[in-house]
Amino acid sequence: MQIVIVVDTRYAHMATTGGSVPFAIDESAMSPVSDAVSNVGVVSPIEVVLLSALVAVLLVGFATVFSHLDDASDRIEREIADVIAERDAYRAFADAVDGIAASQPTRSMATPQTIQSAGTTGAPVDSVRRAFEQTVMAMHHYEETYDESWDTHLQSEFDDDVVAGLRKRGCVNEPIKRALRGHALDAARKRDDLAHVLKTERSAVDEARTTLAEVDATLGSIDDGSLRQRSFEDLSETYSTLDTLHSETLRVVERRQRQIHRETRCEVWASRELTLQEYLYDQLPVTYPVLDAAISLTDDLRTANRLVQRRLTETV
């Protein structure tokens, strides 16, 4: 006799659309045994198998999706720490640039022309390099995240004119100094904005996880004994509880979908843009960990609900 648990592989796509994940046990494999005991008043093996399968899913399957939520929370915390470190490093670099001596040009506006030509003397380029190495490149995650030379990073983070001016002149004039400071403060502002977005995401994930954990705990507290041993009143109460839990979980899904649709696209310091979910969770097993957990729990609740509903109709 073979027992077959069927889970629809379209689940990943349905996670972002609010769809459900079909879960069932192939009852045809159980039919010979079910027929043999149907007339002797013992508990149906299909009910035992269904309940056992449901318990297995709850204990193993949901533990897995909860681990995805844990991974998501860890990822957010690490990213917040890194982004704040970068914000502070760029602010420190801007302050360091202020202390660099620069030549005084005859023109005051920082244009590509004045950046590259105004003034003939000033602090050497090494003073900018040292300031960058002691601030931005001193971050604990710089090598792992960027792994590039100081001027390459400046060119990608700031603009070509600043780096071209430094390379052409070999020293720092006042327009270059102002441009460096302005770009550094702008880089710090971007990271400060992202830190606020990440903290909002952290709160949303924590709130969803708390709700789902409460639903899961209530579901786990429901007696998993044989349905045939329960009274009609007990079955009705269980059905009502499952229905309430299902509604709470669906609200998590709906709220999360609204959050994703409203989220601001995140600038990732280069020319490309990603959604916040892609930016944060691309390296995780799932891109939408909250939806993954909520929909998995929703379908476990639906499975349990169908079992109780079927037994209720048999009891009437």
Residue 158 is predicted with a pLDDT of 84
What mean pLDDT is predicted for residues 207-214?
A: 95
pLDDT at 144 over 70: yes
Residue 64 is predicted with a pLDDT of 64
Q: Comparing 148 with 39, which gets the higher pLDDT?
A: 148
User: Would you say 312 and 233 are in contact if contact means Cβ atoms under 8 Å apart?
Assistant: no
Q: Comparing 108 with 81, which gets the higher pLDDT?
A: 81
pLDDT at 3 over 50: no
CA 132, CA 134: separation in Å to the nearest integer?
Answer: 5
Q: Comparing 175 with 119, which gets the higher pLDDT?
A: 175
What mean pLDDT is predicted for residues 276-287?
A: 91
pLDDT-above-70 percentage for the chain: 68
What mean pLDDT is predicted for residues 224-229?
A: 69
What mean pLDDT is predicted for residues 251-270?
A: 81
Q: Comparing 132 with 16, which gets the higher pLDDT?
A: 132
Residue 201 is predicted with a pLDDT of 95
What mean pLDDT is predicted for residues 62-84?
A: 89
Residue 40 is predicted with a pLDDT of 31
What mean pLDDT is predicted for residues 257-286?
A: 80
pLDDT at 33 over 50: no
pLDDT at 196 over 60: yes
Residue 165 is predicted with a pLDDT of 76
What mean pLDDT is predicted for residues 164-186?
A: 86
pLDDT at 129 over 70: yes
Residue 103 is predicted with a pLDDT of 66
